[in-house]
């Protein structure tokens, strides 16, 4: 009889634990995005132009270098910061200066932003400057979209494909 009680007690305990886990796996319900809202995710890694232009070495300068270090150009590694701006219906949602990463400031500038916006029709303008110019933008894309509630719109940037993409 004691074995039966021990097994019955273990069974009851396991049923209680499984019921506890089962209930809290579905309750309380959690919503990441509030009702009537959509989400815009801006995410990219992009390297700006070099801060100082490359200088072509003369043949005498190249000859002075050790054989394993000979190269036609002398280039610094540091890159300019990338300036990015995201606007929704004429209002600025995100505006930042993204510094280059890395110890020598030679890596890509990175960002990942999640922005909640009301669902419905919108005009989105994405702008980016990755050169040494002091005003204006090198890339600008306008996208008209109708966002549904709980929709995620990804905004990415790739210079080799022409700039911003919206998915």
Is residue 119 within 8 A of residue 147, CB to CB? The reply is yes
CA distance 89 to 85: 13
Helix-strand-coil split of the chain, %, nearest 5: 20, 45, 35
Tens digits of per-residue pLDDT, 30-42?
788 899 999 999 9
Q: Residue 3 and residue 111: Cα distance in Å, rounded?
A: 62
pLDDT at site 3: 84
* pLDDT tens-place string over residues 92-134: 999 999 999 999 999 999 999 999 999 999 999 999 999 999 9
Report percent pLDDT > 70 for the chain: 99
Q: Which two tokens stand for residue 93?
A: 């949602």
Cα dihedral: 16, 22, 24, 28 (round 10): -130
**Mean confidence (pLDDT) of the chain:** 94
Kindly report whether the global pTM for this prediction surpasses the value 0.85. no
Quote the pLDDT of residue 1: 63
Give the percent of the chain with pLDDT over 90. Answer: 81
pLDDT at 139 over 80: yes
């Amino acid at each position: 009889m004691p074995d039966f009680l021990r097994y019955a007690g273990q069974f009851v305990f396991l049923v209680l634990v499984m019921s506890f886990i089962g209930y809290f796996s579905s309750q309380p319900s959690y919503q990441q995005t509030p009702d009537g809202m959509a989400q815009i995710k801006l995410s990219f890694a992009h390297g700006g132009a070099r801060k100082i232009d490359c200088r072509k070495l003369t043949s005498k300068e190249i000859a002075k270098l050790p054989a394993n270090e000979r190269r036609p150009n002398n280039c610094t590694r540091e890159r300019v910061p990338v300036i990015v701006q995201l606007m929704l219906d004429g209002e600025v949602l995100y505006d930042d200066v993204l510094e280059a990463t890395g110890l020598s400031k030679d890596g890509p500038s990175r960002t990942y932003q999640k922005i909640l916006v009301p669902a419905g029709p919108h005009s989105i303008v994405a702008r980016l400057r990755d050169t040494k110019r002091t005003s204006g933008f090198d890339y600008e894309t306008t996208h008209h979209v109708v966002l549904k509630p709980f929709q995620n719109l990804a905004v990415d940037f790739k210079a080799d494909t022409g700039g911003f993409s919206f998915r």
